[in-house]
Amino acid sequence: MSSQQYWPLLDSNGLLQIPLRFYALLLLLLRPYLCWVTELSMMRSQHSLLGQFYPRQHDFLLACLIALPLLLLVAALSQRRPKGQRFWFYLWRPGLWLLWLVTLADFAHSISGLDGDVILDAPWRLIAPMLLVLAMLWLAFSKSLPAIFKEWPEPVPAKKSTKAV
């Protein structure tokens, strides 16, 4: 049986294409901020969206602190292009370890915040810990993520202006 050569998919800048699972993981880990923005955009009612996911205000604040480093990773991701600032590469390179730390901290926080009768009271609160376990498995066994975090596009040289005198 011959082994097939896998050719990675490249984006328009010649870098490895970031998988959609990476963006899904960012959405999962940034869910306190997404819930906050959703809560701010909704009309006031008796039932708070934040209260459904974070029954205690302390839980919400701690979840925001845990996810805060990912905002830097998202900013670095936005600069992963030839005209981006080279400074962001130094935040992008340790991004895999940052993802690991945030995922583990988020999992620990999600599990510690569950009540004993969560399966009867609010079983949907178990979805996030289960998705975080799947995310940790993907982070552990992904072959493309380490290569993605090592890449950075080469800067585009500035064009020289040729003015006629």
Largest separation between any pair of C-alpha atoms in the chain: 81
Beta carbons within 8 Å of 92's beta carbon, 6+ residues apart? 73, 76, 77, 79, 80, 149, 152
Spatial separation of the C-alpha atoms in residues 143 and 153, rounded to whole Å: 20
Sequence spans of domains, the chain:
20-35+51-150
Per-residue confidence at 1, pLDDT binned at 50, 70, 90?
very low
Whole-number pLDDT of residue 160: 63
- Enter the tokens of residue 35: 């819930």
- The tokens of 116 are what? 């004993």
Which band of pLDDT confidence, cut at 50, 70 and 90, is reported for residue 102? very high
Q: What is the pLDDT of residue 88?
A: 86
Which of the 8 DSSP states describes residue 56? S
pLDDT over 60 (residue 4): no
Burial code of 106-125, b = ≥16 C-beta within 10 A, e = fewer? bbebbeebeeeeeeeeeeeb
Report the predicted TM-score, pTM, of the whole model to 2 decimal places.
Answer: 0.80
Question: Does residue 10 carry a pLDDT above 80?
Answer: no
